[in-house]
Chains A and B, each alone.
Chain A
């Protein structure tokens, strides 16, 4: 895993063991934006009566996609950490259907990144979740001298 720091962003996002275990795939990246998907799998079901994917998978996908958007906005790789994450689950995903999330890092300061995200199952116009998050940037940096 020594190449995690130097790998290009797309590879780095998929190298995270939890993202790999959930089967995340990368759909697109542009500066400050990213789209990723989580495919439906039997073992990721949250409600056995409906076979709907667990909201926890949507949480992990949104968190990861927000990290992607921040990283693509910064340009240079640096460690970041989620400060807070708020998610509204607008409706359950369709049964036996995966979820896609798009995140937009719309404001970066020297220390903080602000992100919005949306998730849908089939149609981007019919969302399953919306989210708002703040990230701490460069968590390993030395304090800046004034």
Chain B
């Protein structure tokens, strides 16, 4: 992983206020990126179960896709989300959540990205996201 890519990822994480609001962080192992959403009470949607808010999980997966794109497409502005499809597989419990993104295709203007989020075991994902993102050159 070269310095430009890491600087680009850092810039994304530092400069987007909503990333800080959710409390999300990134762990890098070589070129493998894992996003972490540490549990916070403010992420809860149903306090009785308790379960994480589906919107919080969705937003976390979308930001994971954007973070992965910032690594491989350094020097670009934050891509614009065109559309996302989220499938919820299990209830997100009151604990840390992890996510990884796969770039299915990075074209000249559009990137297709798949994200999977899990908690205890990667083989039991809590949710998945497929999204299209508009890549924007630095003006």
- Which listed segment binds A: B25-33, B76-84, B97-105, B115-123? B76-84
The residue in B17, B22, B60 that gathers the most chain A C-beta atoms within 10 A of its C-beta is B17
A115 to B26, CA, bound (A): 34
List which B87-116 residues lie within 8 A (CB) of chain A: 87-88, 91
CB < 8 Å neighbour of A43 from B21, B55, B84: B21
Instruction: Please list the residues of chain B having a beta carbon within 8 angstroms of any beta carbon in chain A.
Output: 15-18, 20-22, 41-49, 52-56, 58-60, 62-63, 77-78, 80-88, 91
Among B18, B52, B63, B83, point to the contact of A88 (Cβ < 8 A). Answer: B83
Q: Indicate if the CB atoms of B88 and A81 lie closer than 8 Å.
A: yes
Q: List 15 A-B contacts (CB under 8 A).
A: A4-B47, A16-B53, A19-B53, A44-B17, A47-B16, A48-B17, A54-B16, A60-B55, A61-B55, A63-B55, A64-B45, A64-B53, A82-B54, A85-B85, A89-B80
Residue A16 contacts which of B22, B46, B81 (CB distance < 8 angstroms)?
B46
Residue A87, interface by CB 8 Å:
yes
With contacts A1-B48, A59-B62, A60-B59 taken as known, whether A17 is within 8 angstroms of B85 at the C-beta atoms is no
Task: Taking A17-B41, A47-B77 as given, write out 14 further A-B residue pairs in contact, using a Cβ cutoff of 8 Å, ordered by the A residue number.
Answer: A16-B45, A17-B53, A18-B52, A43-B20, A43-B21, A48-B17, A49-B77, A54-B17, A56-B18, A63-B54, A81-B54, A84-B87, A89-B80, A89-B82
A107: B residues at CB distance < 8 A: none
Give the CA-CA distance A13 to B40 in the complex, in Å. Answer: 19
Contact A54/B59 with A19-B53, A63-B53, A79-B49 known, Cβ cut-off 8 Å: yes
Total number of residue pairs linking A and B with CB closer than 8 Å: 127
CA distance A17 to B40 in the complex (A): 10
Q: How large is the interface on A (under 10, 10 to 19, 20 to 34, 35 or more residues)?
A: 35 or more
Cβ distance A34 to chain B, nearest Cβ, rounded Å: 15
Does A108 sit at the interface, judged by CB under 8 A? no
Please tell me which one of the listed residues A42, A49, A59, A92 contacts residue B55 in the complex, with CB atoms under 8 A apart: A59
Interface residues of A (CB under 8 A from B): 1, 4-5, 15-21, 42-49, 54-57, 59-64, 79, 81-89, 92, 139
Contact A18 B45 (CB under 8 A): yes
Hey, which chain B residues are within 8 Å of A81, CB to CB? 54, 88, 91
Residues from chain A with Cβ under 8 Å of B81 in the complex: 55, 89
How far is it, in angstroms, between the C-alpha of A61 and the C-alpha of B59 when the chains are bound?
11
CA gap between A62 and B16 in the complex, in Å: 21
From B15, B43, B60, B86, contact of A85 by CB (8 A) = B86
9 cross-chain pairs, A with B, having the tightest CB-CB distances, nearest first: A60-B55, A56-B59, A18-B53, A54-B18, A21-B42, A63-B55, A17-B44, A1-B47, A82-B54
